[in-house]
Amino acid sequence: MADRLGMDPARIERLRSPDRLEYFDPDKIWNELTPPPDSTVIDIGTGVGFVALPFAERYPDATVYGCDILDGMIELLTEDAGARGLGNVHGIVMQPNSIDLPDGSADIVVMAQLHHELDEPVPLLTECKRLLRPGGTIAIVDWADADNGKSPPVGRRVPVARLQDDLTVAGFAALALHDVYEFHTFITGTA
Ligand SMILES: C[S@@+](CC[C@H](N)C(=O)[O-])C[C@H]1O[C@@H](n2cnc3c(N)ncnc32)[C@H](O)[C@@H]1O
């Protein structure tokens, strides 16, 4: 059984809360990117699958890899995917900055509310580039760096310039901002 120690139950509840949909509906990512229905998507820092599970439901012909450094998160993701009858979700316990999948595995890599937790984002973004096929898309969503009454304290927010710098250093091009969230920055880049 996975070690769930260190997984704060209140945090799990927050990650699962449908209240999040009011300000961070992951469907908006896919409305913007319009992925082919048989896409392969890697969700890094998947948590309990707030992004991965609805994507897998919306696109039953897609393949979804949900990756997290906590095996307890992957256990919860896998349990929920099974309960919802989603055979297209595969949980992977990853190492920091390393996922056991071949080069060019994915059409899209998504990282939602993870960037602000990373002390050194570039090694993980470089791994994202390796995992994407040439021309594939990285999609990052994280708290906007603004005092807007919703975003968390400064340490948990990410300035757009930092996202742009980190993505550029990792080798991504054609960076684009998507103005679909009130309290989050949504940025994409091309591998
Ligand atoms: C704030 S939660 C967001 C979860 C999910 N993306 C969502 O929006 O509900 C961040 C997740 O990233 C995971 N995480 C933290 N550092 C990580 C790293 N270096 N690589 C992969 N996952 C990481 C945590 O275990 C946690 O599940």
Domain span including residue 157: 26-190
Q: Which residue has its alpha carbon closest to ligand 1 atom 26?
A: 47
The pLDDT, as a whole number, for residue 65 is 98
Distance CA 90, CA 78 (A): 7
The pLDDT, as a whole number, for residue 153 is 87
Cβ–ligand 1 distance for 99 under 6 Å, the answer no
Domain assignment present for residue 174? The answer is: yes
The pLDDT, as a whole number, for residue 2 is 52
The pLDDT, as a whole number, for residue 1 is 47
Cβ–ligand 1 distance for 47 under 6 Å, the answer yes
Domain assignment present for residue 17? The answer is: no
Largest CA distance in the chain: 43
Q: What is the CATH number of the domain that holds 152?
A: 3.40.50.150
The pLDDT, as a whole number, for residue 187 is 98
Residue 152 is given by DSSP the state: -
Cβ–ligand 1 distance for 114 under 6 Å, the answer yes
Atom of ligand 1 nearest to the CA of 114: 10
Residues of the chain with pLDDT under 50: 1
Atom of ligand 1 nearest to the CA of 96: 19
Our count of domains for the chain comes to 1
Domain assignment present for residue 4? The answer is: no
Distance CA 47, CA 44 (A): 8
Atom of ligand 1 nearest to the CA of 24: 8
Cβ–ligand 1 distance for 112 under 6 Å, the answer yes
Domain assignment present for residue 14? The answer is: no
Q: Model pTM? A: 0.96
Place of tokens 């993870």: 114
